[in-house]
């Protein structure tokens, strides 16, 4: 199994990519859908919101009146923390249930609008960003979705910048063209990168790099920097340091806290996409991202 984080700015075309992945067999987990599910009528989540913010956040049919909730929950930081304290644990628990139900050979696609803003990119095997210029997204929102222009501009401005998205992107899908062009690009990513990546992780096999599979990035150190963050997410307290030893070759070193931590990292790295090659050395299972990880003990 591998987990893929899918995101992009509002109006960028993320739903087209998600649909393409699902058609090719993805196990989809939609964060927005879960957020709605945990506050449906009769749910513990809705009851907790009513207790915290009052019964006037309910519509006549007993469902959540989202504008009414927003008017109360976003007035100050304390109210926002109350809202997040109720909904975030419920969303997290439901997401974990769905992850545990996924098949062992699944390519799990987690559709998360605020993945960049929530700083969760390092916890995925790969992050896919769907990109379109702000002017293009503004046009789509106002003409195709009927969003007021001022509202659309405010929503775009409130999200992550293009530079922040680029920094976490393992896959950058440019949606400047047609929906068919975007779907075709997503299908190629699925067939040429995601399918072999997942198979390699299950087999604990280092990938054969495919030249040209991934385009060069504006920041040549970007892939190595993302690997540092991913390795910290995998190793956690078992590591005292994660360092880049050769950015151009994506060679990194993890310093394990002790021998027990070093032993635990063998399986954790394999599950995380870095198969063991020999004692203390792991290689990337991703055909689009060659990397060598060496583990030493402090």
Q: Is 12 annotated as a binding residue?
A: yes
DSSP for 30-90, please give it.
Answer: EHHHHHHHTTSTT-HHHHHHHHHH-GGGB-TTSSB-HHHHHHHHTSSHHHHHHHHHHHHHH
Rounded alpha-carbon distances, angstroms, from residue 39 to 35, 79, 88, 110, 206: 7, 17, 11, 20, 43
Q: Compute the distance between CA of residue 68 and CA of residue 242 in angstroms, rounded to an integer.
A: 46
Q: Is 45 annotated as a binding residue?
A: no
Q: Is 81 annotated as a binding residue?
A: no
Q: Is 250 annotated as a binding residue?
A: no
Q: Compute the distance between CA of residue 263 and CA of residue 279 in angstroms, rounded to an integer.
A: 10
Token pair in block for residue 56: 């006037």
CB 5 within 8 A of CB 29: no
Please give the DSSP secondary-structure letter assigned to residue 207.
P
Strand pairing category for 27-30 and 126-131: unpaired
Token pair in block for residue 296: 């030493």
Q: Is 11 annotated as a binding residue?
A: yes
CB 244 within 8 A of CB 232: no
Q: Compute the distance between CA of residue 181 and CA of residue 13 in angstroms, rounded to an integer.
A: 11
Q: Is 142 annotated as a binding residue?
A: no
Helix (H, G, I), strand (E, B) or coil at 216: coil
- Binding-site residues sit at 11-16
- Binding-site residues for ATP sit at 11-16
């Amino acid at each position: 199994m591998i987990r893929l984080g899918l995101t992009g700015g509002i109006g960028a075309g993320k739903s087209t990519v998600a649909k393409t992945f699902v058609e090719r067999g993805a196990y989809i987990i939609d964060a927005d859908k879960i957020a709605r599910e945990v506050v449906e009528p009769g749910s513990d989540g809705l009851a907790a919101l009513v207790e915290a913010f009052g019964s006037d956040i309910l519509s006549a049919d007993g469902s959540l009146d989202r504008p009414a909730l927003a008017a109360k929950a976003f007035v100050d930081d304390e109210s926002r923390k109350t809202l997040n304290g109720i909904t975030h644990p419920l969303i997290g628990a439901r997401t974990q249930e769905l992850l545990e139900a996924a098949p062992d050979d699944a390519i799990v696609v987690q559709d998360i609008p605020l993945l960049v803003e929530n700083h969760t990119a390092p916890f995925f095997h790969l992050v896919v960003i769907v990109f379109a210029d702000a002017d293009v997204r503004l046009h789509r929102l106002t003409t195709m979705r009927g969003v007021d222009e001022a509202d659309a501009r405010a929503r775009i401005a409130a999200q992550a910048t293009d530079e922040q998205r680029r920094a976490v992107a393992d896959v950058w899908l440019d949606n400047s063209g047609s929906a068919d062009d975007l779907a075709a690009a997503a299908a190629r990513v699925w067939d040429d990168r995601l399918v072999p990546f997942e198979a390699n992780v299950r087999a604990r096999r280092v990938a054969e790099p495919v030249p040209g599979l991934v385009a060069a990035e504006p920041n040549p150190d970007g892939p190595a920097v993302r690997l540092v963050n991913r390795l910290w997410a995998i190793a956690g307290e078992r590591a005292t340091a994660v360092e880049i030893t050769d950015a151009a070759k994506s060679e990194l070193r993890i310093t394990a806290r002790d021998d027990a931590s070093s032993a635990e990292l063998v399986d954790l790295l394999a599950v995380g996409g870095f198969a063991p090659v020999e004692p203390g050395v792991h290689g990337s299972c991703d055909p689009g991202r060659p990397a060598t990880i060496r583990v030493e003990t402090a």
